[in-house]
Amino acid sequence: MDPLNDGELEREIERSLAVDPSPEFLARVRTRLAEEPRPAAGRFGWMFVGIATTAVAAAVVLAVFVVSPARRPASAPLLISRSLASPLVVPTIARASLDRSLDTHDEPRTVLVLFDTHETLALQRLIANVRDARVDLTPLLKEGPMSLPANDDLMIPPIVIEPLAPSGVEGERP
Amino acid sequence: MHGFADRLAGGIVAVSDAALEREFEARLVESSTLAFRVAYGVLHQREDAEDVAQEAFVKAYRSFSQLRDRDRFRAWLVRMTWRLAIDRQRSDRRRLAREAVTQIVTVGDTSDELIARERAAHLWIAIDGLPDKLRIVVILAGIEGHDTSEVARLLDVPQGTVKSRLFLARQRLKEQLQWTH
């Protein structure tokens, strides 16, 4: 029994590990990989969708806040919701205490009135169509005001409330 | 506009996929023997080693697009193969022991072949008895003549660590292996 030196041990280990895979190994791996879904496609697809969404959002923000700064009021406006049923008059609201707290500039305060978007669009379209002669309103104007049905038929009978008639002596259970 | 975006996205994906496929194929060819030998160093069975190496390649394929540093592929593959092989060995240790015995004593072997097989079996038993940290260093250093710098790169540890572990491992192996020449 000779003691084993480093060189011999190294060679012995290398010899034991000098085993090659079978010739079919690579083909088998390729076949197995062909059965795998391609994860890269989904990843890049989602990445692209994410980038596109972010870009669109950034463009919208840019358009609103940077490209058209003139549309932005100089100071914080008072937001008041109004229905179209009321006259289209921009109200001047005297809110002295609030104005004092918000007023940091000398420029006049603008008051924004919010309308329903659909109603606004419908009115704008109607006005534009009338102006462009696409809608003719003369028949309506000739007819005069629309006649409403008489409300005589609407009869509401008076409500009669009968007083409660206790059957026994008060405080006793019947 | 939407259709254009879809086509653009599809084009990018197709080009990326094709490039990834080609790159992975190149890695597969250059690293298949390495992965097989790492697995063989643990399992000592060709079929089992091929199964484990194949499994490692499948895992690598699934995550290949997420590998930021492609130059680290071999190290990544080695560690993955090692873990899979160790798991397989631990879950199937009794079967491997039985097959190792049948491999050593095979009817019809000449005496030289028998001695060589017996020596290899003793060597594997000694290597298997090493702690994992020493064992992987011995196996990687024994594959394709890897030097300590290559082993350090594969294991992502300093070269000095590899040298000290290799020295310690060889000392232990020499204590156990005393065979005639």
Q: Tell me the per-residue pLDDT of A88-128, one tens digit each, with 9 for 90 and over.
A: 544 454 444 445 555 555 555 566 777 788 888 899 888 99
The mean pLDDT value for B114-140 works out to 88
Rounded to whole angstroms, the Cα distance separating A63 from A69 reads: 9
**DSSP of A12-74:** HHHHHH--PPPTTHHHHHHHHHHTS--HHHHHHHHHHHHHHHHHHHHHHHHIIIII-GGGS-S
Identify the CATH class of B1-104.
Answer: mainly alpha
Report the residue from B61, B124, B170 with minimal CB separation from A16: B124
Could you tell me which residue, B105 or B77, shows the higher pLDDT? B77
pTM, rounded to two decimals: 0.55
In the prediction, which pLDDT does A29 show? 93
In the prediction, which pLDDT does A41 show? 47
* Residue A42 in this model has a pLDDT that exceeds 50: no
Beta partners for residue A113, in sequence order: A80
Chain A residues closer than 8 Å to B179 by CB? 1, 4
In the prediction, which pLDDT does B133 show? 93
* Residue B8 in this model has a pLDDT that exceeds 90: no
Could you tell me which residue, B51 or A82, shows the higher pLDDT? B51
In the prediction, which pLDDT does A91 show? 47
CA distance B111 to chain A (A): 18
* Residue A145 in this model has a pLDDT that exceeds 60: yes
Could you tell me which residue, B122 or A87, shows the higher pLDDT? B122
Nearest in space to B86 (alpha carbons), one of B120, B121, B133, B122: B133
Nearest in space to A141 (alpha carbons), one of A130, A149, A150: A130
In the prediction, which pLDDT does B17 show? 74
The mean pLDDT value for B95-120 works out to 65
Least confident of B16-25, B30-39, B150-159: B16-25
In the prediction, which pLDDT does B144 show? 73
In the prediction, which pLDDT does B69 show? 78
Report the residue from A3, A17, A52 with minimal CB separation from B139: A17
Name every residue whose Cβ is closer than 8 Å to that of residue A93 and which is 6 or more positions away in sequence: A78, A80, A111
**Any idea which residue has 């079978």 for tokens?**
A22
CA distance B87 to chain A (A): 20
Q: Which residue of B has its CA nearest to A19?
A: B37
- The pLDDT tens digits of the residues spanning B78-106 come to 999 999 999 998 887 666 565 555 555 45
In the prediction, which pLDDT does A107 show? 54
A26:B57 CB<8 A = no
**CA separation, residue A164 to residues A167, A174, B55 (Å):** 9, 15, 88
For residue A130, give both structure tokens.
């009338």
Q: Please state the domain extents for chain A.
A: 8-67, 75-141
A124-144: b (≥16 Cβ within 10 Å) or e: eeeeeeeeeeeeeeeeeeeee
In the prediction, which pLDDT does A118 show? 87
* Residue B23 in this model has a pLDDT that exceeds 80: yes
Rounded to whole angstroms, the Cα distance separating B129 from B138 reads: 12
In the prediction, which pLDDT does A130 show? 86
Report the residue from A2, A3, A33 with minimal CB separation from B57: A33
Rg (CA), chain B: 21
In the prediction, which pLDDT does B114 show? 79
B111-181 maps to which CATH number? 1.10.10.10
φ and ψ at B88, to 5 degrees? -65, -40
* Residue B159 in this model has a pLDDT that exceeds 90: yes
Least confident of A14-28, A32-46, B15-29: A32-46
Chain A residues closer than 8 Å to B138 by CB? 13
B41:A17 CB<8 A = yes
B142:A6 CB<8 A = no
* Residue A66 in this model has a pLDDT that exceeds 80: no
For residue A107, give both structure tokens.
């420029």
**Any idea which residue has 């631990």 for tokens?**
B90
A25:B174 CB<8 A = no
In the prediction, which pLDDT does B169 show? 93
Q: Please state the domain extents for chain B.
A: 1-104, 111-181
